[in-house]
Amino acid sequence: MKNILVLCTGNSCRSQIAEGYLRHFANNKANIYSAGIETHGVNPKAIQVMAEDGIDISKHTSNNIDEYMDIPFDFVITVCDNAKENCPYFPTKAQRFHQNFPDPAKATGDLNTVMNEFRSVRDMIKAYSESFINEHLS
């Protein structure tokens, strides 16, 4: 079984959403993990927009990359430029992938505007995740 790590800055939004979708599309064909170079807790708005699409990430935890040093990853996906540039070295033969997604937690405006940004980023990550699984686990 393949091991996939999704890495972001704070492991609160983008990497959590990607973990949820990768797990969904992999359908038990891979172990999916997410982590951050920092931990900020899972963002409640990320939980909400995922629930709107039928994916429950409410039990996810925000994890630091250091917690996963002993796992032999096959794939490491960075989902923000900051994580790609600041990812600490860890011993892995994993193939590395990078796709920078906007940070929905930085959205400004009224609640409706902010939630629409979360939905927009969620949909981008959903499309990327489905494509990634189809290309690398089929």
The answer, yes or no, to whether residue 91 has pLDDT greater than 80, is: no
Provide, rounded to the nearest whole percent, the portion of the chain with pLDDT above 90.
75
Alpha helices in 27-101 (DSSP H): 44-52, 81-86
CATH architecture entry for 2-136: 3-Layer(aba) Sandwich (3.40)
Q: Where are the domains of the chain?
A: 2-136
Q: What region does 98 belong to: left with phi over 0, alpha with psi -120 to 50, or beta?
A: beta
Provide, rounded to the nearest whole percent, the portion of the chain with pLDDT above 70.
92
Is position 13 annotated as part of the catalytic site?
Answer: no
Query: What confidence tier does 113 reach under pLDDT thresholds 50, 70, 90?
Result: very high
Catalytic residue among 50, 80, 94, 105: 80
* Of residues 29 and 10, more confidently modeled: 29
Catalytic residue among 6, 8, 26, 46: 8
Bridge partners, 4 (sequence order): 32, 75
pTM of this structure: 0.93
Catalytic residue among 3, 39, 63, 87: 87
